[in-house]
Amino acid sequence: MKVGIIADVHVASAFGPWPPDAELSVGGKHIPNIGQQYLNEHWYEIAEAIPPLDVLVLNGDIIGGAEYKDEGRYAVELDPQFQARAAFMLLEPFLKKAPVRFCVEGTEYHEGKSATWAEWMAREIKAVTKDSHCAWDWLLLELGGLKFDIAHQQSFFMRYPVTVLERELQYSDMINEQADVIVRSHAHRYGYIEIPGAGKIQTALSTPAWQLQSHYCRVSISPNQKGPLPLGMVILEVDHGEVSHRRFMFPHPPLRRSVYVTA
């Protein structure tokens, strides 16, 4: 079985991919900026390159939300319904390769209270429902004889990124979930770890993002370490009770701050 994981796309952010044919809520269309053109190019290249999938999981923060902290300054479109429609257009080539789709809710800032905005997008892609909801708060799946524990949010360590993943595996054992594979997103940072124990190997994965380093990253408390990180997606492959992964990733473009200005 092949499971594709896409997360942190931030559709409608000026730093995320945007389909050029998407209609805006105020009418007309947005012309993608140079960064969005770069992301779009790799988005469609990867959509064509990946193999057919059994399951596609959208693991949170697929849309950008209202961006109220920046008062919409870095948003292409503020209406979350139009963001959801644009995300659907962008996802179409991936959806064609995956008959089963799950949508996991991301952060409230990007996907609304109680994941309302994520719910609209999940309905657009005909995601598998949970108690009549299309967006899952936490996704526990059994695939190919393995238990998958999939959620969006995770802690973030600058220097030891896999430490967070190891802790997730330990916590899974502590609460007796004993997941074989843990998938997390949110940190915009790829990481992968395997730990043997109790006669099996446990795996934890942190997915890359699709968003370029934003203004928020540049002015945060740790700006220089949050980018540039590789972008893209990961496919998990389950075969006879064992899991492996394939990376479909591409480099972040150079940042302007790497060029020093002569005084």
**Mind listing the pLDDT tens digit for each residue in 144-168?**
889 999 999 987 766 677 888 888 8
Tally Cβ neighbours within 10 Å of residue 124: 18
Write down the pLDDT at residue 127. Answer: 94
Separation between Cα atoms, residue 129 and residue 115, nearest integer Å? 14
Give the separation between CA 24 and CA 30, rounded to whole angstroms: 7
Which of 15-24, 113-122, 175-184, 214-223 has the least mean pLDDT? Answer: 214-223
Burial 37-69 (b: 16+ CB within 10 A, else e): ebbbebbeebbeebeebbbbbbbbbbbbbbbee
Q: In the predicted model, is pLDDT for residue 49 greater than 70? A: yes
Which bin fits 258, alpha (ψ -120 to 50), beta or left (φ > 0)? alpha
Nearest-angstrom CA–CA distance, 83 and 117: 9
Phi, psi of 158 (to 5 degrees): -70, -50
Of the candidates 224, 226, 181, 240, the one whose C-alpha atom is nearest the C-alpha of residue 206 is: 181
Domains of the chain: 2-251 (3.60.21.10)
Residue 1's pLDDT band (cuts 50, 70, 90): very high
235 vs 91: CA distance, rounded Å: 16
pLDDT digits (tens, 9 = 90+) for 219-250: 766 555 556 689 999 999 999 889 999 999 99
Q: What does the pLDDT read at residue 158?
A: 66
- pLDDT, position 171: 79
169 pLDDT exceeds 70?
A: yes
Local confidence band at 132 (pLDDT 50, 70, 90 cut-offs): confident
pTM over 0.85: yes
Q: Which residue has the tokens 């150079």?
A: 254
